[in-house]
Chains A and B, each alone.
Chain A
Amino acid sequence: MAGRKWKELLIRALRLYTLLVTLITVLMIILGNLLDRDRIFSYDAFFSPLIYALIGTVAAMITHSDKELSVRDLIIRKVISLLIIEGAIVFIALNSDTIPTEKSWVLPGLALGVFAVFVLSHIIMYLIDRKEAEKLNADLSRYQEKQMNDHA
Chain B
Amino acid sequence: MKLETRKIPESELEMVEIRYHWMTDEIQEIITFVKSRQGQLSAARDGKRFEVPVVDLFYAESVDDRLFLYTAADSYEIRMKLYELENLLKNKSFFRVSKSMIVNLMKITSVRPALNGRFSAILKNGEEIIISRKYVPALKQILKGGES
Contact = CB atoms under 8 A, between A and B. Distances in A.
Interface stretch (B40-48, B62-70, B78-86, B112-120): B112-120
Given A1-B138, A68-B98, A140-B108, A74 B144 contact: no
Contacts of A68: 98-99, 130, 132
B111 A140 contact: yes
A133 B113 contact: yes
B9 interface: no
Interface of chain B, main secondary structure? mixed
Contacts of B108: 140
A112 interface: no
Interface in A26-56: none
B110 interface: yes
- What size tier do the contact residues of chain B reach? 20 to 34
Interface of chain A, main secondary structure? helix
A132 B140 CA distance: 10
- What size tier do the contact residues of chain A reach? 20 to 34
B136 A8 contact: yes
A74 B105 contact: no
A4 B138 contact: yes
Interface in A128-142: 129-130, 132-133, 136-137, 139-140, 142
Interface of B: 93, 98-99, 105-106, 108, 110-113, 115-117, 119, 130, 132-134, 136-145
Given A12-B117, A139-B140, 19 more contacts: A1-B138, A4-B137, A8-B133, A71-B115, A74-B115, A74-B116, A125-B117, A129-B119, A133-B113, A136-B139, A136-B143, A140-B108, A140-B110, A140-B111, A140-B143, A143-B142, A143-B145, A144-B105, A147-B106
Interface of A: 1, 4-5, 7-8, 12, 66, 68-69, 71, 74, 125-126, 129-130, 132-133, 136-137, 139-140, 142-144, 146-148
